[in-house]
Amino acid sequence: MTLGIVLVVLALGTCVVALVLVARSNIDRRREAIGARLKNLTAPTRSKAIAPDIDILSPDPWLQSMPEKWRPRIDRVLGSTGYTVTLRMLLVIGVGGALAGLVLFGFVLHLGFVFTMIALFGGGLVVPWQVVKSAKARNMTRFTQRFPDAIDLIVRAVRAGLPVLASMEAAGAETPEPVGREFRRMIAD
């Protein structure tokens, strides 16, 4: 019994040491990558030269079929997901959720017309809303994970002697989405 406890404690200790070593090597690799990006920076570019290449909004072709007064709000919602969700996707998911509610409550459970209609409209509205909500959360998580790298890149570039604007342009070009897109949007404005 004591031998078993000792083996478990040794195994847990080994796992903890391995996790610490892996985390430390990841931090070292991240620092090396940032240093390599800083070394590759060239002379600062003018922001007007890169502004035409910036895709500030990724308009969904289906967005043009929506009423004009709804477009800014829909684009804001799709933008908050990092444009990973499209109107077509929301339509398909909404129809699928409505059909699932209809089949489940109407045909399988036989709960009556009122409950079937509640499930039909609930599935058609709640399921797409949950998809947008989870896509927003994923986009925010990606942003918060990558934002410190962008700030670190800007700080190191400024310390190396580059102007702040050029440093922000480099962060927009070098940092992965969604942080890079936001820096490019700031430079374009």
- Please give the residue that has the higher pLDDT: either 123 or 54: 123
110: which 2 tokens?
Answer: 């036989």
User: In this predicted model, what pLDDT tens digit does every residue of 134-172 receive, in sequence order?
Assistant: 999 999 999 999 999 999 999 999 999 889 888 888 888
pTM for this one? 0.61
Find the Cα–Cα–Cα–Cα dihedral 40, 158, 169, 134, rounded to 10°. Answer: 100
User: In this predicted model, what pLDDT tens digit does every residue of 94-117 receive, in sequence order?
Assistant: 999 899 888 888 888 888 888 888
End-to-end CA distance of the chain: 69
Say if CB 94 and CB 127 are below 8 A apart. yes
So what's the pLDDT on residue 43? 47
